[in-house]
Each structure stands twice: as structure tokens, then as C-alpha cells.
Amino acid sequence: MEFKRVIGTRRTIRYFKPWKPVERAKIQVMLEAANRSSRSINADYPKAVVVNRDDLPMEVRDALRNPTTTADLDLAPTYVFWYTNLNYGDGAQDRLKELVRQGALPASHGWSEAYVDDVVYTQVLKPLLADDAAKGWMGAIETGIAICNALNAGVDEGLGVALHAFTAPDVVKEYCKVPDTWQPTWLMLVGYPAEDPEAGGQRPRRPLSAHFFEGSCDNPWQEDPEVTEYLKREGLIQRPGPLPWRQQEVRMLSRMFGLPE
Amino acid sequence: MSDGPGAELMRSAAVQRWLAHTGYETEAGRRRCLELLGGFCADTGQAPEELVASCFRITKDGDRRISIKGRRAMQEAIESFVAKRGETGHAAVAAGNMLRSFLIHNGVFMQGRASID
């Protein structure tokens, strides 16, 4: 799938084919996409544990359920528990110097190994990493970028994906032997969509001018209609929901799975 | 629905709200809704409004909040009721979820198991 169409096609899929397992190769694609994400100080922020629903003991699956989460967990065949590694600062100094040697952080932009040792690490990173709030903020953002790559890679592989509240983190921690320094971030549900991949149409979004500005916040971004049309042709902007058949689709899926209507 | 056990239920505002929004919109579907809810009310000894109220709690400040404990108890009551009816498999899951639909359309966020076996 073309890049723009991947972004335009991604939805939070809520009806999966519970009977159709996800190929391990496709999960690897998603993980590698996460591994290639943009990341400050080239640190290892994202951690993830991949678990197939049917491999989980029933007591763990039951623990994941609470009054608000059951159907999604029943339907998705694969769970990816995403964490933020709060030890991401370990080795940051060496990794930055590695980037200097690679030419990724070049002298043309002021970088040198001495600058990393004497300034960046000691005066910037070390104090930041000692501040739990700042450390958590940075970790969450960088992990989110990685998760986004994984989501889009899943869509590109023809999968349905959804981010879900991370329920029962203590149970998952014990069962999956998760280190103390990993902070639960998102539970990603993965499977083949039982609903049409359009999932009733693209979700409503406010116009660019509501969020983005040019030069100053009193100057909203003005869309170029030709670009908007180009994005429609490329599939980044798609038919808006609800498509005429959406309510019937939801009803039929609910009946198939015995879910509330 | 003008008489019979459903008539009393139909006087409930919560039931009216449910039937106005639910996808069980055929005559047979509505009859099944009322039959199930009537049985559940009898089983729990609670009126429709009381079932909804039990899934909320009132804070010290007087705010109405969703109750985890209340919803958990409701889930158990639904499972118990369905088990007593002797239904199994897809029918049992669907019956429980039809009752959950009543709560959902009255503002109680709740999910039931999906029938996937």
C-alpha cells in the first residue's frame, strides 16, 4: 500500500476475526517499523511483549478483563503490550558519540565527541534523566512515535490494529516477566478486521486551520484546495464516516458475535 | 406491547430510552428484550431504574460517577441469571449481552464477552 493510503486507511479496528491468527512475520514487520522510529539520543525507549490470545492462560485473560474491556480482548488474536523503558538513558553518552562517528551528528552542526561528553551529557541529559517527570514525558513521547510506526506497518500488512487501555499491568508484569523499569504504555490489539477495513468511513477531523498555524497563532493554516484534492486521490483523505451501510454492518457483526446492540 | 408483562416495563423511562436506541428494533427483538429484562428484574428484585442506578455511585460531593464495583456486581448478576435460564453457547452470550444493551443505552459503559467458540 502507498504511504499516504496507509495513513488514511488506519482506523481503530474494534471487530477482528478471532479465528484468524496473525502471521508471526507480519508482527516482525510491525516491530521492525517501531525499531526504526525517530528517537532522540538514539535511545531504546519502546519495549514490547507480543502474546497470542490463545496462548494466555484463562486466569490471565480473565484478569485483563474488567467491566469495561472484554469484547475487544476476545476478538483480537494477538496482543502487543507496549512499555516505555525508563532506563532509556543508560548508554546515552556512548550512543551519541557513536552517532558523531557515523556522521549522523556532524561537526557542521556543532557536534563532536567532546561536546557530547562535556556538554550534552553532563549539562543536559544527566539533569533531565534525574527528573522523573521530564524523563517520563520524553519516554512517553518517543515510545508513542514507535507505536505509531508499528500501527501503520500493521495497516500496510493488511491487518487491523487498535490501541487499548493497558489493563491489569501487574498481572501482565508477572506473567510476562516484565522488568520493574518498564512503564506500561498501551495495549495494542492486532488481527484481521472482521469489519470492512474502512470501518464505516474515515473518522471526523477538524480542518487544519483549527490546529495549525503559519507564522503566528493568529494566522490559521489555509489549506490549498488542490493539495486537498491530491490527498483525496492518494487515499490520505478518504470517504468520511458514517458510510450508509455502517449501522447495518455494526448490527450484523454484533449479531455474529452475540454482542450488545 | 400494550398489555402483558412488557406493559409495566414499557412505563419505565429507562426501558423507553433503551428501545428508542437499541439495534434490536424488530417486533420480535423488542419482545425478546422485554422478556429478558422482565426476567432479570424478577431475578434480582430490582426495577429497571434500580438496575441502572446500581452501576453508579454518588461521591461525597454529590457527583454521579460510574461504579466499578457496581458494574462488576452487575456482570455477575447477568451471568448468574443467564446460567439459571439454562442457555449455553452463542444463545447464552447473546442473552447476557442483550441485558447489557439495556444498561449501555442508559449510560453504563459495559462490555460482555464475545461469542467466538
Q: How confident is the model at residue A70 (pLDDT cuts 50, 70, 90)?
A: confident
Nearest-neighbour CA in chain B from A261: distance (Å): 5
pTM: 0.91
**A189 and chain B: CB distance < 8 Å anywhere?**
no
Cis peptide before A18 (omega within 30 of 0): no
Residues 6+ apart with CB under 8 A from A25: none
Could you report the per-residue pLDDT of A154-175, keeping only the tens digit for each? 999 999 999 998 889 999 999 9
Please, are residues A215 and A174 in contact by the beta-carbon 8 Å criterion? Answer: no
**A49 and chain B: CB distance < 8 Å anywhere?**
no
- The predicted pLDDT at position A228 comes to 97
Which of B68, B75, B93 is facing A258, going by the closest CB pair?
B93
**A137 and chain B: CB distance < 8 Å anywhere?**
no
Q: What percent of chain A has pLDDT over 90?
A: 94
Q: Are strands A213-214 and A182-191 parallel, antiparallel or unpaired?
A: unpaired
Look at A1-10, A139-148, B18-27 and tell me which has the smallest mean pLDDT: B18-27
Look at A12-16, A70-74, A213-217 and tell me which has the smallest mean pLDDT: A70-74
Question: Domain segments of chain B: what residues?
Answer: 5-104
Could you report the per-residue pLDDT of A191-228, keeping only the tens digit for each? 999 999 999 999 999 999 999 999 999 999 999 999 99
- What gap in Å lies between CA A232 and CA A240, rounded to an integer? 11
**A69 and chain B: CB distance < 8 Å anywhere?**
yes
Contact B116 A66 (CB under 8 A): no
Q: How far is CA A137 from CA A122, A140, A150, A178, A187, in A?
A: 20, 5, 20, 21, 19
- The predicted pLDDT at position B1 comes to 46
Quick check: A37 pLDDT over 50? yes
| A18 contact residues in B (CB cutoff 8 A) | 114, 116
The arithmetic mean of pLDDT across residues A129-142, rounded, is 96
Contact A71 B114 (CB under 8 A): yes
pLDDT in tens, chain B (117 residues): 445 667 889 999 999 999 999 999 899 999 999 999 999 999 999 999 999 999 999 999 999 999 999 999 999 999 999 999 999 999 999 999 999 999 999 999 988 889 998
Q: Which of A1, A47, A52 is nearest to A22 (CA)?
A: A52
| B98 contact residues in A (CB cutoff 8 A) | 260-261
- What gap in Å lies between CA A109 and CA A105, rounded to an integer? 7
Domain A3-194 belongs to what topology?
A: NADH Oxidase (3.40.109)
For helices B13-21 and B89-104, angle between their N-to-C axes, nearest 10 degrees: 110
**A166 and chain B: CB distance < 8 Å anywhere?**
no
Please, are residues B78 and B40 in contact by the beta-carbon 8 Å criterion? Answer: yes
**A74 and chain B: CB distance < 8 Å anywhere?**
yes
Upper half-sphere CA count for residue A232 (Cβ side, 13 Å): 8
Contact A258 B68 (CB under 8 A): no
Q: How confident is the model at residue A185 (pLDDT cuts 50, 70, 90)?
A: very high
For testing contact with chain A, the best of B54, B69, B90, B111 (most A CBs within 10 A): B111
- What gap in Å lies between CA B35 and CA B55, rounded to an integer? 22
**Mean pLDDT across chain A:** 96
Question: Could you identify the residue written with the cell 476475526?
Answer: A17
Question: Domain segments of chain A: what residues?
Answer: 3-194
Q: Which of A28, A31, A149, A140 is nearest to A85 (CA)?
A: A140
Q: How far is CA B61 from CA B55, B57, B66, in A?
A: 18, 11, 14
